Structure 1
Amino acid sequence: MQIALTGKLAKAMGVELEPVNDEQNPLFTWTANWTTVWDNRRAEDLLVLVNHATRFTVAVYQVKRKDLKGMPEMIKQAIANTLLYMNINPEIVEEYMSLCGDVTFTRNSNRKAAAWVTRAGLDTSVYIGHEYNGIAKMFRDTVGASINYGLVNYSGKFDDGFMPYEKMVTALTELTGKQAYKYRAFELMVTLDLDVYQAERRIIVPAGLEFTRLHEVLQSVFGWRNYHLYDFTFFDEKSERTTVLTEPLDEYWPGDEEIVLIEGRVLADFMPEHGTMVYTYDLGDNWEHEIELLRVIENYDQESPYLLEASGQTPPEDVGGVGGFVEFREIMLNPDHPDYETMKEWARFWSPELQDWEMRPRAIRV
């Protein structure tokens, strides 16, 4: 595997650079840069790599100067973890990493690649700024995954644009001759009871999906904006015990056996043993989504998370729970109501019915 380093990164690493091998398959060639995420900091903390054949991005946060000593292993692990995070067939990932061989470092002389890695760093920084507070000490080597769902290479002709994720999947399947996806999956029905109707989303998700990502999936398909806290609740009828998965919060007693921290937990830890659970979003408005396991798919061979069908519009944020939504909806369905214009301005783009694109089956890329 050939890693072309930007001048700044090469200087920081202090490694001996080898001559560029122009005969190297671009699928095994990456350009790497080391940059900052936060404007108020001088020290670099983000390692970004872009693949030359596909423009696929891999990024690692937080990477300090002392961490650069372990660059070869860090890079290979980050590439593998990002591909696995996006549910690529583990057999493909293993074969690709084997074919990559040992890491060699060269100086970057490709202007296009330099521009690509700069842009990828900016896009990843925006994602990190949105998802993380910049205070907690952390290490994540999959923060670049979502960047690969964005369109690139469209500055000339729009038809020339492509998603790095799709191009990488195609390249890897052609390289290995193996199917792109092969994993255990769950088909779930998620129902939000709003009294006047039910908002339902039927989805397929990997069995190994972390609950933190399931939260992101549910936010996406229900149109929530991730403004509030959330948790997942399971109830065991035999033991009559309730288990709540949550992020660490002061109001939860750390000694409470019913409270389980959500970090690192995946769906398969609880399903199919538990056939149902409740996802509660906004602990004030208390939007309770009942999640029912419909089917276990042992060898799923398609991209997921995936929305199969959707019905029923989601309430706007901060409307006041189910009761507040019922009242709000009555006003919005009656243009002659004295509060109609006020509510319409407050709700902005909210509509009583789902748009066609919201109901259309599609991959959920979060």
Structure 2
Amino acid sequence: MQICCTKKLNDEMRIVPGKGTEENDLFCWSVHLITVKRRKTLVAVNDSNRYGFVLHGLRANDFKHLNELLIQGIRNCLRDEQIKSEIIERYLKAAGELVFSKTRGAKYVARLNKACEQVKIFDDSLDSKELYQTNVAQRMNNDLMKSPQESDYTYPHALLYRDFKLFAGEEIVQCEAVDIMVKLNLDHHTAWRRVITPVDITFKQLHIILQAVFGWKSYHLYDFEILDEANKMVQHPLVLSGR
């Protein structure tokens, strides 16, 4: 797998990048290091589909084992898209050992710069307690874009699905889901939404989903409570942890 680094990232890692030889864009990730909210932030974008992920709050010691962090970041973003675990591992095996190189050209750098701009725009979604930024990645990868290979506008996550389906030669998504009915009691009338979500989402992700389906703008703080059959609040560990 070829990791195409900007000069700033190479300088931070204190390495001399090798000459990349990978020709398959799917096995290449362009990576840049920026500063957001006074924290070192790594932005990675796949050269084939512009799908990206973000590591926020990197410390000096993290750059000593950036290989592992990048591999885990790729795993995380693919899992977030509910891609089968066995297909993720097939992809990582086919991509081979990580090789750090210079960026591959102006086209890929322009895409990377666009992703870095998005991270700064979506900085309100950054979680200072987490290295891998799920919420920012979701917003980046659901941002409408124009692809030269497509006749119409599309999304990075849609191009990722296309690429991985071609790579795997089979259906790539496997997901358990729950059907949730959400009702708002508004005096003399009720507003409701029916939402189907993956079973393993966090409360933070559920909050984002609710903002979208009701057309809200996340202007207010939120809280979740779990009630038992007697309508008493349950002290559930996931609620207490804020997940």
Note the C-alpha offset of 1:34.
Answer: 0.4
1:146 maps to 2:139: yes
Note the C-alpha offset of 1:88.
Answer: 2.5
**2:67 and 2:98 in contact (8 A); partners too:** yes
Which of the numbers 94, 99, 102 marks the counterpart of 2:97? 102
1:253 corresponds to:
none
For 1:131, give the aligned amino acid.
S
Q: Which runs of 5+ in 2 are unaligned?
A: none
Note the C-alpha offset of 1:97.
Answer: 2.0
**2:177 and 2:199 in contact (8 A); partners too:** yes
2: distance between equivalents of 1:124 and 1:164?
15
2: distance between equivalents of 1:224 and 1:138?
25
1:131 corresponds to:
125
From the CA coordinates, give the structure whose radius of gyration is larger. Answer: 1
1: distance between equivalents of 2:35 and 2:63?
15
2: distance between equivalents of 1:180 and 1:189?
28
Total equivalences in the alignment: 242
**1:92 and 1:178 in contact (8 A); partners too:** no
2:73 corresponds to:
78
RMSD, aligned α-carbons: 2.5
SS of 2:159's partner is helix
**2:126 and 2:133 in contact (8 A); partners too:** no
1: distance between equivalents of 2:52 and 2:46?
7
Q: How does 1:236-255 map to 2 (within 5 A)?
A: 236-237=228-229, 241-243=232-234
Instruction: Say if 1:183 and 1:213 are closer, same or farther in 2 by CA, change over 3 A.
Output: same
- Higher helix content, 1 or 2: 2
2: distance between equivalents of 1:137 and 1:194?
35
Q: Which runs of 5+ in 1 are unaligned?
A: 246-257, 265-366
**2:20 and 2:99 in contact (8 A); partners too:** no
1:95-129 C-alpha deviation (Å, 9 max, x unpaired): 2222222100011141111111111011012212x
2:242 corresponds to:
263
**1:62 and 1:140 in contact (8 A); partners too:** no
Note the C-alpha offset of 1:160.
Answer: 5.2
1:14 corresponds to:
14
Note the C-alpha offset of 1:206.
Answer: 0.7
1:53-112 C-alpha deviation (Å, 9 max, x unpaired): 111112111123331111111111001101212322333222222222210001114111
**1:27 and 1:53 in contact (8 A); partners too:** yes
1: distance between equivalents of 2:13 and 2:150?
38
Identical residues among aligned pairs (%): 31
1:163-183 C-alpha deviation (Å, 9 max, x unpaired): 111001111011012313212
Instruction: Say if 1:178 and 1:159 are closer, same or farther in 2 by CA, change over 3 A.
Output: closer
1:55 corresponds to:
50
1:199 maps to 2:191: yes
Q: How does 1:168-187 map to 2 (within 5 A)?
A: 168-187=160-179
SS of 1:116's partner is helix
For 1:223, give the aligned amino acid.
G
**1:231 and 1:244 in contact (8 A); partners too:** no
Note the C-alpha offset of 1:145.
Answer: 2.9
Instruction: Say if 1:29 and 1:132 are closer, same or farther in 2 by CA, change over 3 A.
Output: closer
**2:51 and 2:160 in contact (8 A); partners too:** yes
Instruction: Say if 1:202 and 1:61 are closer, same or farther in 2 by CA, change over 3 A.
Output: same
1:28 corresponds to:
27
2: distance between equivalents of 1:210 and 1:180?
22
Q: How does 1:110-121 map to 2 (within 5 A)?
A: 110-121=105-116
Note the C-alpha offset of 1:17.
Answer: 2.0
After the TM superposition, which parts of structure 1 deviate over 6 Å for at least 4 consecutive aligned residues?
none
1:215 maps to 2:207: yes
1: distance between equivalents of 2:86 and 2:189?
44
Which of the numbers 188, 206, 216 marks the counterpart of 1:224? 216
